[in-house]
Chains A and B, each alone.
Chain A
Amino acid sequence: MIRFMLGRLALAIPTLFIVTLAVFAMVRAIPGDPASAMLGDLATPEMVARLKASMGIDKPLPVQYVIWLGDVVSGDFGRSIGNDEPVGPLIWERFKVSASIVLLAVALASMVAVPAGMIAAWRQGTATDLGLIGVATLLLSIPSFWLGLMILLVFGLGLGWFPILGSQALSGSWREWAAAIAMPVLTLFLVEMGSIVRMSRAATIDVLRQEYITHARAKGLSESAVMWRHAFRNAFAPTWTLIGLILGALLGGIAVVETVFTIPGLGRLLVEGIYTRDYPVVQGCILMIAFVYVVVNLIVDMAYPFFDPKVAR
């Protein structure tokens, strides 16, 4: 078990290393150079050269990479071109906002959708199953921005339960904070539930066909014991992978939802960074997104042996 975990951990290091290379290369491959872009059209060659020297980009590329990597490893992501803030803390602030919404929404969605999928599988072919599958498919087909707008319209404008501008409320007390993220959480919860229900149902149907389920019934176990004790752990493994993928994708930023609810999250930071050519911010965001993705998948992999003891070998 410990060897399995160490193995996965070791495998994550080269992945992250490759990502830093890719991010570095990508930014360097953009035509022009950041210094002239920052200084604008009126810059003299001397000014550009000075800025280049101060940014360290007059050095050969490999040297630049090593310096940058060194900075990144020690937590220094540089400063934003737009407002001269250090990028590291900026990203971290924004990430916390996005992450709290995503984690809450995915956790809630899993808690509702996994049992719902299992019930649908258990009652396969009945009205219950059809109803659950119908709702899941409907939720899958609704675009998140539309659903977000509708929720904003109903709960924000119509009923007035939650603040419409999320960004203001986020700085207040935890109560205000909860109110601010309630609508984005609800949106993501509904959007992500569909796929989880479907996956959970499909996996459970597969498991229920196995002989050990019949064996469990032949022991005289009640249906709830059969489902919970025998079916759940086996059926959850594929769903768990899906949840991991969803988390990885969403934690990298939920730009659409953040935009609809005006939430200052990581996704919007990246989009704004791209618009304003704020290379340090873009670089930092991409690195953060990749890092989060790797870490989430690592956690998912590490939890795997719990559902499938064969993996731990």
Chain B
Amino acid sequence: MSLLSLENLHIQVGHDGAEVVQDLSFTLEPGRMMALVGESGSGKTMAARSILGLLPPPMRLAKGAIRFDGVDLAGLGPKALTKYRGARIGMVFQEPMTSLNPAMPIGRQMEEGLRLHLGLSRVECRKRILKMLERIRIADPEHCLAAYPHEFSGGMRQRIMLASVMLLKPQLLIADEPTTALDTLVQHDVMNLMTELAAENGTAVLLISHDLGMVSHYIEDVVVLQHGIPVERGRTTEVLTQPSHAYTQRLVDALPRRSAGGLRNAEPKPALVELQGITVDYPGHALLFGRRVAKRAVDGVDLVVGQGETLGLVGASGSGKTTIGRAIVGLEPISGGTMRFKGQPLVPDDPDTRRDLQIIFQDPYSSLDPRQRVEAIVGEPLKLDTGLTRKDRRERVREVCDEVGLPAGFLTRFPHQLSGGQRQRVAIARAIVRRPAFVVADEPVSALDMTVQKQILELIRQLQMRHGFGCLFVSHDLGAVEQVADRVAVIETGKIVETGTRDDIFDRPQAEYTRRLLNAAMLLGRSYNAAVS
């Protein structure tokens, strides 16, 4: 008998609202791994939550059965469901930063399930938790028990979360984008740990993910969802190598890949931005009447970005890559080293320089003023050009919005009326409206869906070809960097470990750290066959 089978599941908003999941059916055998794949809004998370009866109101299960081990969970009341939650079906969430209670020590959070479902004593709980924490290679398990979540990094929290769920040896683990918020190396780590723990306990896994590359590395079966409708299912290898549905094809196509042919910018360009030995310190916590202890975020970095060239800056979170970008545009004071722009010393505060240096931020949801319309957002930088009349500005804004693919009708909209991709287009328009010579793109696509990522990356590329600005492309996503960068610099804890042309870095990495990053990157089509078999 299959462990879990969803039969014609329909999830609806309210009683007569839209259906966010339509007619979803699949079965999962004990000990197997399956993925629900789709972009944001595909209903994959809601489908997963419905299994445990955790749909947030006003979402509700309209129709269908959820058979788990022969019992229809959809028909159970809240009391009966709690016997399944945690004990037999465990769930891991996406955001390690918010999925552990910030006001409760780790130990207390981990023992809750054990005490509730197995009725173990405090001492016995402690023993099991310590053993589990050792198993997941937490450095100081004893200390971990009394520590609070904020004392751990995202990756550690996610491992702790996994451990706390797997302590109860559930028959089914639902993992909702468990690694999306994590760095490449950590992603790899957490996924490995998850598959190991699942295998040890014979737990079946239902993974919710948008990341086809990762799914192809770990998961046997896959169901593809589009706007709540399952469009394709089957063995991962088959679905991803020979997608039959147009949407799956689009998803596979959207995966970043190297642009065909050789390097676009093979010949060296004259330097536009030069950084020499720059250092950025962050003030530490001020002790009472004491000195501030500085944290060195960037430590003696040399970088050169040529005119019209894209330099990809790759590193884990906390490596200082974003800080470098912010330092160039003057958002972060440097504590040492020199920056030169067009051969002159770079003074970021100088208005003329500011015009030439622009930045696109990572999160289009917080980088646009929610109370300004698109026209005002894009037109604001132009107010610094006193020579322009109101009409000129209008004209210019219209032109730029057209360039980034925003129809004229969008000019009067507010950011909340736009999708993530559209917002990022607005952010790009704002950055290029004054024709800068240099643009910092700080993780410009990591908050976006796969297919939208592809469009935005192509847009940046096109605009660069047309206007010839130099670009520092900051990202932890090797796939995106491989797609857009001419040259690549790899940074680890504030220091550049390797710089080279894109092909050199990706095909002939020299530094150990680069190799580890590349190994951990789960790109579809590379080392892919070996991993699945």
Contacts and interface: CB of A to CB of B under 8 A. Distances in A.
Tell me if chain B binds chain A.
Answer: yes
Interface of A: 3, 6-7, 10, 125, 210-212, 214-223, 229-230, 233-234, 307-310, 313
B98 interface: yes
A221 B116 contact: yes
Contact of A219 (B78, B86, B94): B86
Interface string B128-156: 00000000000000000000101000000
A218 B86 contact: yes
A309 B99 contact: no
B288 A7 contact: yes
A51 to B, nearest CB: 44
B285 interface: yes
Given A10-B288, A211-B98, A220 B83 contact: yes
Contacts of A7: 288
Nearest to B85: A220
A7 B288 CA distance: 6
A308 B102 contact: yes
A62 to B, nearest CB: 27
Contacts of B90: 218
Interface in B100-127: 100-104, 112-113, 116-117
Given A214-B54, A220-B82, A221-B112, A234 B102 contact: yes
Query: For the complex, would chain B's binding face be called helix, strand, loop or mixed by DSSP majority?
Result: loop
Nearest to A214: B54
Contact of B112 (A219, A309, A310): A219
Interface in B239-279: none
Given A219-B113, A234-B103, A307-B103, 18 more contacts: A3-B287, A10-B288, A10-B289, A212-B98, A215-B93, A215-B101, A217-B85, A218-B86, A218-B90, A220-B84, A220-B113, A221-B86, A222-B82, A223-B78, A229-B112, A230-B101, A230-B104, A313-B150
B91 interface: yes
Contact of A309 (B49, B116, B150): B150
B332 interface: no
B103 A233 contact: yes
Contacts of B117: 220
B517 interface: no
Contacts of B161: 215
B52 interface: yes
Sort A-B residue pairs by CB-CB distance and give the 3 closest, nearest first.
A220-B85, A220-B86, A219-B86
A219 B103 contact: no
B117 to A, nearest CB: 6
Nearest to B89: A218
Nearest to A213: B101
A223 B85 CA distance: 13
Given A219-B113, A220-B83, A212 B99 contact: yes
B302 interface: no
Contacts of B52: 217-218
19 contacts: A3-B287, A3-B288, A10-B289, A125-B57, A211-B93, A211-B95, A211-B99, A212-B102, A214-B54, A215-B101, A218-B90, A219-B86, A220-B117, A229-B104, A230-B104, A233-B104, A234-B103, A310-B102, A310-B150
Contact of A217 (B54, B100, B102): B54
B87 interface: yes
Nearest to A234: B103
Contacts of A307: 103
A218 B54 contact: yes
Interface string B343-362: 00000000000000000000
A222 B288 CA distance: 43
Contacts of A125: 57
